[in-house]
Copies of this chain bind each other. A is one copy, B any other.
Amino acid sequence: MSKDLLRIGEVASRAGVSKRTVDFYTGLGLLTPARRSGGNFRLYQPSDVQRIAAIRSLEAQGIRLNEITQLLAGRALQDQGEHSQDSRPPEPEALDEHLTCLDAQVRALRELPEVADHRTLAVLATLVGRAQVLIATALILSEELLGGADLIPPL
């Protein structure tokens, strides 16, 4: 559980980013080395490669690095004391509430096409598409966090 740790170069090449970027992310607290080697080299867990992938997909959804830091903070918070930027961690029930709300919204949108003009539909399609990609990212992320349960619907 601590033998297959990776140095920065290996992490970077597996994740497909530059060493400099791994260094940068580490400085931000987005990545936390499991420990340091005798020679003061940072040693990362292999799972940090997935973590970088997760970071990149969240970034692609327009989420800022400091939000991502909060979001993925579970482990990092134990290792490092203070990051706090006044963002309260969501309650477990929050997911349920959001899903219920989403459901209502989806139903409202279903009834829209009849009254809406072409341009309005285009705007909605773009925004809903964006939301949909966001949730797809969430599902992929949760699969990684859960270690490979098979939950993601096709398309």
Contact = CB atoms under 8 A, between A and B. Distances in A.
A90 B116 CA distance: 14
Interface string A71-115: 110100000000000000111101110110111111111111101
B153 A98 contact: no
A123 interface: yes
Interface string A45-87: 0000000000000000011100000011010000000000000
A1 interface: no
Contacts of A137: 127
Task: Determine how many copies of this chain the complex contains.
Answer: 2
A6 interface: no
A93 B104 CA distance: 20
A104 B153 contact: yes
A107 B119 CA distance: 29
A28 interface: no
Interface of A: 62-64, 71-72, 74, 89-92, 94-96, 98-99, 101-113, 115-132, 134-139, 141-142, 145-146, 149, 151-153, 155
22 contacts: A62-B63, A72-B123, A74-B119, A74-B122, A90-B125, A92-B121, A95-B109, A99-B128, A102-B128, A102-B132, A103-B106, A104-B153, A104-B155, A105-B135, A105-B139, A106-B135, A115-B146, A117-B145, A120-B142, A127-B138, A128-B135, A128-B138
